[in-house]
Amino acid sequence: THFGYKTVAENDKASMVADVFHSVAAKYDVMNDLMSFGVHRLWKRQTIASSGVRKGHHVLDLAGGTGDLTAKFSQLVGDTGQVVLGDINSSMLKVGREKLHNLGLVGNIDYVQMNAEMLPFPDNSFDVITIAFGLRNVTDKDKALRSMYRILKPGGRLLVLEFSKPEHEILSKAYDFYSFNLLPTMGKVVANDSESYQYLAESIRMHPDQETLKAMMEEAGFEQTTYQNLTGGIVALHRGFKY
Ligand code: SAM
C-alpha cells in the first residue's frame, strides 16, 4: 500500500490522531472555547488579519476542522473566489460543513478530505494556505510543508498558526501545569474523554519551537519567513511566501 514505507510508530500516530478527532468532533467547538478561555478566537482573528485574503482569491484552509477560518475567508473572497476546507478526518469535515451551512455560507466553499502530506491539487493553485492547530498532528511535517509550497501560486503565502514555546519560564511552568493537569481533567468532565486531551498536551509539548518551525519552512522553500508570538508565545503565527 502507499503506507508501506511508514514505520509502525508513524502508523500509530496517524491512527491515534484519527481516533482523537473522530472522538472530539461533536464537542470540538465547545471545548475550544472552554480550554482557551475563548482566546482561540483572537488568535484566529490575527491569522485572518495577516492573510491578505481578498476578493477572488483561492484559499486552502488546511486541517480546517470545523471551519472557523473558512467561514471568514468565504466572506472575504466573495462570489469570484473559492475556499477549500481540507481535513483528513471525515467527522470533523461533517461538523464543519453542517456549521457553515447553518451560517448560510454556501456557494464558494468546497469540503475535501485530504492528507496534508500529499495534497490533491496541481502546482500553483492557491493564493493563500492556512493551517491552524493542524501541523502538530501531521506525521511527516517536512513533507507536508513541501506539499503546501508546491500548490501555492508564486506570490502566495502560507500561514501556520500553532502552539509554540512560551517566552518566559514562569508562563511556561504555569502552562505545563495547565496542559498536563487541568486540560485532561476538563476533557474528562466535559467530553468524557481524558485520553484525547492528554494527547493534545503531549502533542503541544513535542511540537517544534518558533525558530525550528521557521527553519523547517525555509527548508521547504518558503521565503521572507517571519513569526509573531501570541499570548506570550503559547501560540505563534508563522508566515512565509513562495516566489
Ligand atoms: N483548524 C481548525 C481550528 O483551528 O479550529 C481545526 C484544528 S484541529 C485541532 C486539527 C485538525 O487537523 C483536525 O480536524 C484533524 O482532523 C486535522 N488533521 C490531522 N492530521 C491531518 C493531516 N495529516 N492532514 C489533514 N488534516 C489533518
Kindly state if the Cβ of 116 falls inside 6 Å of ligand 1: yes
In the sheet that holds 126-132, the strands lie side by side as 109-113, 82-87, 58-62, 126-132, 152-163, 235-241, 223-230
Q: Cα(228) to centroid of ligand 1, in Å?
A: 21
Predicted TM-score (pTM) of the model is 0.94
In this prediction, does ipTM exceed 0.85?
Answer: yes
Atom of ligand 1 nearest to the CA of 64: 1
Q: Is 96 in the pocket of ligand 1 (CB under 6 A)?
A: no
- Cβ(197) to ligand 1 under 6 A? no
1-59 residue pLDDT tens: 444 455 667 778 888 888 889 988 988 898 889 888 899 999 999 999 999 999 999 99
Those residues whose C-beta lies under 8 Å from the C-beta of residue 125, and which sit 6 or more positions away, are 58, 60, 151, 152, 153
Q: Does ligand 1 come within 6 angstroms of the Cβ of 67?
A: no
**162 Cβ below 6 A of ligand 1:** no
